Chain A
Amino acid sequence: MNWLDDPILRVDHLTMRFGGLLAVNDVSFAAGRGDITALIGPNGAGKTTLFNCLTGFYQPTAGRIAFSSEKLDAEKIETLTRSARKHDGETFLLERMADHEIVRKARLARTFQNIRLFQGMSALENLMIAQDEALSRAAGLSFIGLLGLPSWRRAEQAAVDRAVAWLDRIGLKKRADDPAGSLPYGDQRRLEIARAMCTKPALLCLDEPAAGLNAAESHGLAELLRGIRDQGETSILLIEHDMSVVMRISDHVVVLDYGQKIADGSPREVREDPAVIAAYLGVEEQEEAVEEAVLSGGGA
């Protein structure tokens, strides 16, 4: 139960309302440091809405999102909540922060359900833009960069090296100079993950990373994600429909349905949870069919 002992993210009573629609209703959960946490649920369960709240794209109606790449301390969270501040340098209240601050200060990166690469720019450029923070600092309001001083050139080289290391890791080094939009679909998915990783996140949020991938590709993706987790610097939170991926790699599964959390636990617990089975397959008591469908999804 790592997510209770040492969480990197704690969501408390999060609610997101669009007019009369309650997309996320009083959801609380925690994601463990160094874990792969999966967020699953039927279509329209509010998973992506929750993601958008975490990453600052939506301002939640109510609730608290506490995050710390170092150590999430309950007392600190309370102190911070009572103050008007967004963060104390270590603990961050994400619901108070703008999207770009969340990436830069709290170190949370995300990908999108429908891939959002900079299509016309090369794969390498995509990864360079992700390292904007370090590069901008080195370029000194562009003046140092305009003059081409050595400190800028060193920073640029370091960024290129980092980008190339990632391209190599996802097998795209040969196509570094090709426009991202010209890459095959599976490569674009992996490039988007590499781009998010280039922002050096403490928590990587992936919105359906395996959508549209074939069996071999989603296997490769699972290996990539496990590799990222095992390096120990980045925890992962992912939304996924592909149960084979979820069951194979995740340490912790949170299930949403109609905006509410219906289950939370290890993959095995969740798989056997009657509420989850009902949410996915309907409430009719067709025990055998249910068992079989869920297990065949999870056992591959």
Chain B
Amino acid sequence: MPAERFVRALREAGWATLVVAGLSFPIIAYRAEPDFNNLLALQPRWPLFWQFCAAAFLLRFLLAFWSGDETKAKAPREKNWPKLPWLGPLALVFLTIYPLAVVALLGPQAALKWVDTYGVQILIYVLLGWGLNITVGLAGLLDLGYAAFYAVGAYAYALLAPATGLGFWALLPVCGLLAAFWGFCIGFPILRLRGDYLAIVTLAFAEIVRIVLINWDVVTHGEAGLFGFPGLNFFGLPFIPGPRGFAAHFGLPFQGIQKQIFLYYLVLVLALLANLVSLRLRRLPLGRAWEALREDEIACRALGLDTRNIKLTAFALGAFFAGIAGCLFALRQGFVSPSAFTFSESALILAIVVLGGGGSQLGVAVAAVFLVGASELLRELTFLKSVFGENFDPAQYRMLLVGLAMVAMMNFRPRGLVSTRAPTIKLGATS
């Protein structure tokens, strides 16, 4: 019945427009700005308000008109991905040759951005995603303050490297262990909490860490952050021009990108190691206990599992990975400050895990590439300035992208990119 459908779509669009009007009235119709006397002056923006309402009406109408009968129940339309056993090895080969290929194609100057921002940065987020996946995806403990452990790792390196004179090879595990220690500490008070309550406490913990970093001026230099700590070196050879540097030792011309390429491979190896450890742990009693805890805590206790230890190890190991990632972050930036470890950072890492589908390594990696890579790609869209004017900054729309990804996910794959769970042990009994 097209007429009936038309009327229903019209009605739905009307309601949607009312909601949009109600929501946007206080924020869009008037804008409060301080005037010359520093008093707030209201600046009416009614045309913009009407544009918003019109857009909402039109979009909602079209959606309701074309999407058909909403009242009928729909069968779940989630499909399994085809099995692609070659995908892993192919990705590995690609990741191995990627920095060299980029340098060969673009030259050492232009390739820097592609190796550093798109390579190292995304890989650090993959590592973070895999770490948080242990806590959230496997053990089912919702952690909204993961950036705190990331911060502990980064500050541990930035503070300990100049103070102890140790190289990053020695400090890398120290950063991980310190973060794991804090994971252990936060784990204790929240052992008896579940679900939302647990999430709130982890959120608060992350804020405590951030505020301590801001206010403990003597040690952390507050908002200004720490810099000038020793950077990366190649087994004792620093990446500097001159006879004592890495380039001279191997008879190569000095290029700034050599350090980034080495960092890239370092992060890649560590991420793969983390992946290997979590994949193997899943098949061990500890990993199975994590998943059992996610499924049913009471049943765990009835089987003699000590849920306290299971929760603590899940928190500590997840935090360990974050500490390692934090150390690598400090090496990449050469500068750490509290502004890098805000709640939005925790939210982004959590979004990676949720989008990837809790429990799946590949899904998390793909989600990290998508969310971090796409928001970086936004910066490249400078041509949009010719459309929207000189003041348009596409990078400002990063969070919009995360939001869109989440909405799309809820619509099409509500349980994440990879939602199927492979048993950790198979009998393969078909007869």
Contacts and interface: CB of A to CB of B under 8 A. Distances in A.
Q: A and B: partners?
A: yes
A163 to B, nearest CB: 9
B89 interface: no
B424 A125 contact: yes
Interface stretch (B118-126, B238-246, B300-308): B300-308
Interface of B: 277, 280-281, 283-286, 288-289, 291-292, 295-296, 298-307, 421, 423-431
B295 A139 contact: no
Nearest to B296: A116
Contact of B304 (A103, A145, A174): A103
Interface residues of A, number: 44
Contacts, number: 119
A296 to B, nearest CB: 35
Contact of B427 (A57, A102, A145, A176): A176
B423 A112 contact: no
B423 A195 contact: no
Given A99-B302, A129-B303, A135 B285 contact: yes
A179 B423 CA distance: 8
Contacts of A135: 284-285
A188 to B, nearest CB: 12
A100 B307 contact: yes
B429 A177 contact: yes
Contacts of B299: 112, 116-118
Contacts of A1: none
Contacts of B301: 57, 99-100
7 contacts: A122-B425, A125-B425, A129-B303, A139-B284, A139-B286, A177-B423, A179-B421
Nearest to B313: A142
A154 interface: no
A185 B261 CA distance: 57
Nearest to A126: B292
Contact of A142 (B286, B303, B306, B424): B286
Contacts of A196: 302-303
Contact of A129 (B281, B292, B428, B431): B292
- Closest 3 pairs (CB-CB, A-B): A103-B304, A118-B295, A116-B299
A234 interface: no
Contact of A160 (B288, B296, B425): B425
Given A118-B291, A128-B288, A145-B284, A199 B304 contact: yes
A177 B426 contact: yes
A118 B292 CA distance: 6
A206 B292 CA distance: 21
A109 B281 CA distance: 26
A52 to B, nearest CB: 10
B382 to A, nearest CB: 46
B304 A125 contact: no
Contacts of A179: 421
Contacts of B284: 135, 139, 142, 145-146
Nearest to A104: B304
B304 A100 contact: yes
Given A117-B299, A118-B299, A133 B304 contact: yes
Interface string A54-86: 010100000000000000000000000000000
A173 interface: yes
A36 interface: no
**Residue of B303, B423, B427 with most partner-chain A CB within 10 A:** B303
A164 interface: yes
Contacts of A111: 302
Contact of A119 (B288, B295, B300, B302): B295
Contacts of A145: 280, 283-285
B318 to A, nearest CB: 15
Contact of A146 (B277, B304, B305): B277
A109 B302 contact: yes
A107 to B, nearest CB: 9
B427 A195 contact: no
Contacts of A132: 285, 288-289, 303-305
Given A135-B285, A142-B281, A146-B281, A128 B425 contact: yes
Contacts of B427: 124, 160, 164, 173, 176-177
A16 interface: no
Contact of B423 (A103, A104, A119, A125): A125
Contact of B302 (A112, A133, A139): A112
Contacts of B302: 55, 57, 99, 103, 109-112, 116, 196
A118 B425 contact: no
Contacts of A266: none
A125 B430 CA distance: 17
A130 interface: yes
Contacts of B291: 118, 120-121, 125
A154 B177 CA distance: 32
Contacts of B280: 145-146, 148
B187 to A, nearest CB: 17
Contacts of A218: none
A102 B303 CA distance: 10
A100 B429 contact: no
A244 interface: no
A171 B299 CA distance: 23
A156 B298 CA distance: 25
Given A110-B302, A132-B304, A139-B284, A121 B289 contact: no
